[in-house]
Structure 1
């Protein structure tokens, strides 16, 4: 562990009360300016009653990218959660908590079935699902966007891709919520249940293949190696959880932001398809669905002149990097024409870049096109309810109405 440490004035990032509401930007702004690498303590939790050893926080775009793109220095093999967990627990996240060569093998197999061609073939179904939700909203007039969209739209798409029976989707959505929320014990049990479901489904597909993603994963191999049913079950849990939460969170924050910046809503609506590529990237930058991931220093090194010792935990704050004033002009303003937009919402590059990024972009593009054209004057009818969560930028409720008609 490093000897050269001091308690930073902003030693608040692992305190639950800091994450209440949606007001962390000011602290991160100060940290980017004065403490781009800072030491954070770990208070006692239910998982670690005596508290953890502490961790380094990295908050600028440049440094988050540096950590992300050097896996031989900053590894994932000891987990991506801040808290230390037993290997049998953090290994349940599969590729997320792996380094080469294990990560390379699994990613090579999975990437063969996650192709642009397959995503393009899904576009008609994605549009139909979006329209079905819009029709329901039209009849309702007022609705909670989280309940009607974020909890259903991406879940239905990912579930169909994986070959999940529609009747099982609500229970799996509930499991994803438990996986992404405290306490850790509940999250762990939910993850195990999701993995078991995926493993059983993989065994069924091995016996009776269909044309879904799980069947392709059962058959896929690289250099004679295939995924085991358990490996597929772990990937199933990871993809379903990430696929639901990432897209849903971006949509939640996107409709809130477009309400807060009506000029940007009007600009995008004036030529939706032309502006969509830039606008969708801005939605993900703005939302930063995953707020942070951890790496562990595998060797002695340094960041911005700060010595880092092998074994130290290093936490990358994507939500701060995506507001870095040295990279993004007016980062606290939504700009649907922002270009270039090197946001880190899908990771900081390197071999852990999100495999489902293109699917998430496609889902968001289709749904927001359908939503904005149907309800160009939609309104928020009450305060947005933000969940208390330091790892994921979760929104609990977005009360909406369809607004006046054109």
Structure 2
């Protein structure tokens, strides 16, 4: 339905449709965002059945909104740009509850700050350093598992594994159950993709299965407490109250999705970019010690695995030279900010020597800056160190299959071949 009082609002130019998921799957979104940055960097987009929404496409505006959670709320109307409250309730597992105010991602300070403290201990720099040697060994084993074969699906066999194993370790999920997380998060994130969509089309069934598993795991940790996040959460208190079952469920959902989807997809997009830019791949293989840290930042900029988050305007405000009204929805497009020509020279060139590289793949700063940023960087570094050393002639063996989504930038499958090699460990 048309939104009220929109006559004076600059609308997206003709030919741009940010609701067309096929255009994201087919890679056409980059051109749409290039036009928006040039022609209408803060623009209004109508919605056929709901209120329309503003779009921030330039780096400076995305960062400014990210750092002002009082004006740009995550809690008031959720962070998914194009879903209704009913759809939020479905992903929340039914029962009349949606995610707003109950999942950390869907809260504002001070509630967000209290929630975040509950899981911070699993992601401190000290904890990441303690994990590094353990995950380095796991990276060895992940390559061991495919190196004798000479071919694999890079996404499922390589990119998915280290993030899954790391988040399972942190959460306290037994390693033999990690692929359950892979299946559930695919079905929740892939609700608009025919390969992953649940029968009800909402992701609610996958969420319910995850919650049921989380309850069983919590019961085991009450009997056998360990140094993991599940044990911390079942014993945690906020303002003197223990977490409700719903709050615990939503913590588990967030950790499962954020802990594996984003790093898996960054790994996949980075590998595809290296294969499509063989001179860059050769340079990284020749000097991984000197180039890897910078390469990881470019991997993150290039992939921008979360394309956007939405905010709800709490007061009349001007941003990017445009007046927004209290109650408006505004979408922060990280995928566009990471290609902003005013910040990144030649933004459509994949350049692992790019410096500075103020990418916003972890958000634009502020309260919601990604809790797992250091973990993700470490995982990317470890797996690509293994790849450049042990799979140096890795070659694309077919076209990538891209997730149909405007929210998560995902690669579903990436067939590759390589010269078979030897395992590090028997």
TM-score over 0.5 for the alignment? Answer: yes
Judge conservation of contact 1:269–1:372 (CA < 8 Å) in 2.
Answer: yes
CA contact (8 A) 1:202 1:229 kept: no
The 8 Å contact of residues 14 and 41 in structure 1, kept in 2 or not, is answered as no
Question: So what's the TM-score if we normalise by structure 2?
Answer: 0.88
- Tell me which residue corresponds to 1:327: 343
Unaligned runs of 5+ in 1: 44-50
C-alpha displacement of 1:226: 5.2
| Corresponding residue number in structure 2 for 1:17 | 22
Q: How does 1:162-241 map to 2 (within 5 A)?
A: 162-183=171-192, 185-219=201-235, 227-241=243-257
Whether 2:369 is the aligned partner of 1:365: answer no
- TM-fit CA distance, 1:185: 4.2
Shift of 1:244: 0.7
Say which SS state the counterpart of residue 103 (structure 2) adopts.
helix
Contact 2:73 2:108 in 1 (8 A): yes
Equivalent residue runs for 1:50-199 within 5 Å: 51-77=49-75, 78-82=77-81, 83-86=83-86, 88-91=97-100, 94-183=103-192, 185-199=201-215
- Tell me how many residue pairs correspond in the alignment: 399
What residue is the counterpart of 2:197 in the other structure? Answer: none
Do the aligned partners of 2:341 and 2:347 also contact (CA within 8 Å) in 1? Answer: yes
The TM-score normalised by the length of structure 1 is 0.92
In the alignment, which residue of structure 2 is the partner of 1:259? 275
**Gapped regions of structure 2 (runs ≥ 5):** 90-96, 193-199, 422-426
Q: CA RMSD, aligned part only?
A: 2.2
Q: Give the superposition deviation at 1:13.
A: 0.3
Q: Decide whether aligned partners of structure 1 residues 404 and 191 sit closer, same or farther in structure 2, where only a CA change above 3 A counts.
A: closer
- Find the counterpart in structure 2 of residue 37 from structure 1: 42
Quickly say closer, same or farther: Cα 1:221–1:133, change in 2 above 3 A: same
Q: 1:10 offset after TM fit, Å?
A: 4.5
Does 1:250 pair with 2:266? yes
Cα deviations across residues 269-289 of structure 1 (Å, max 9, x unaligned)? Answer: 222123222111111111000
What whole-Å deviation, never above 9, does each CA across 1:226-252 have from its counterpart, x for those lacking one?
544543331121011111111100110
**Structure 1 position 84, deviation (Å):** 2.6
Worse overlay, 208-217 or 75-84: 208-217
- Closer, same or farther: CA 158–36 of 1 in aligned 2, 3 Å: same
8 Å Cα contact 2:396/2:417 also seen in 1? yes
From 317, 321, 324, give the equivalent of 1:305. Answer: 321
Quote how far apart the aligned CAs of 1:221 are: 5.6
The alpha carbon displacement at 1:336 in A equals 1.2
The answer on 1:392 being equivalent to 2:408 is yes
TM-aligned CA deviation for residue 103 of structure 1: 0.6
> How far off is 1:150 after superposition?
2.7
